Structure 1
Amino acid sequence: MIIKTIKSGLVLLAIASFSFASAQDKVEVLNEKAIKSFKSIDTNFDAAISLDEFKAKRMKDASKEEQIEKRFLKIDTDKNGSLSLEEYTLAFENRKKSMQKRILKKTEEDIKKD
């Protein structure tokens, strides 16, 4: 039991140390990726992503249209019907954080199984 606790603590400490040490670099890379993605979706170059532009780039299956529209509305925090670079970048970062949390949770579950 103590060994499992020590293993868990070491893994979490290593993850936290790595995350803290490279957080600034990750933010910059993440922002660059978000900006690149934003520009690829903004096909009319008006510095905003409309629902039609968002659907055109994100919807590969017509059955997912409602899901895509819900995601767009969630990201559109000022509810003006378009996504600014700031809204898009924030959503991009939040999605990345959510994925990291899921990975960490799975890692913790795997450790508990050992």
Structure 2
Amino acid sequence: MITKTLKTGIFIIAVASFSFVGAQEKVADKKHKSEKMFLQLDKNSDNLITLEEFKSLMMKDESKKERYENRFTELDSDKNGTLDREEYKVAFGDNRKKQTSSIKVEKKKE
């Protein structure tokens, strides 16, 4: 006969494993959304996003043109006029939370 403690332990392990699987699915879904958005922005399928491609999908209001141009310039870390997959991942992918949290830490130190 299985003791109450053992039953409770098995139940906790089962719940924890389902939670872990759910968290992994959320991460995979986020990566998928990020990749899908990159492909939508990359109109000519050259694995690079130009300023015009970026503005064509992102900019809904013409009055915000300068704001989107400035944002694109910030994201273009190598300053070559295009966003590659790595630059895009840093801005919109998994690393976004890590990047923003490190920026907050740097600001607090100053």
- Partner residue, 1:14: none
| Contact map agreement 1:31 1:89 (CA 8 A) in 2 | no
Tell me how many residue pairs correspond in the alignment.
81
- Partner residue, 2:93: 93
One-letter code of the match for 2:62? Answer: A
What TM-score, normalized to structure 1? 0.60
The 5-angstrom pairing of residues 38-77 of structure 1 reads 38-77=38-77
Two-structure CA RMSD over aligned residues (Å): 2.7
The answer to whether residue 30 in structure 2 is matched with residue 30 in structure 1 is yes
- In structure 1, stretches of 5+ residues that fail to align are 1-20, 102-114
The ranges of structure 1 where at least 4 consecutive aligned residues each deviate by more than 4 angstroms after the TM superposition are: 21-24
- In structure 2, stretches of 5+ residues that fail to align are 1-19, 102-110
* Higher RCO (C-alpha 8 Å, min separation 6): 1
Determine helix, strand or coil for the equivalent of 1:68. Answer: helix
| Percent of paired sites with the same residue | 46
Q: Which has the larger radius of gyration?
A: 2
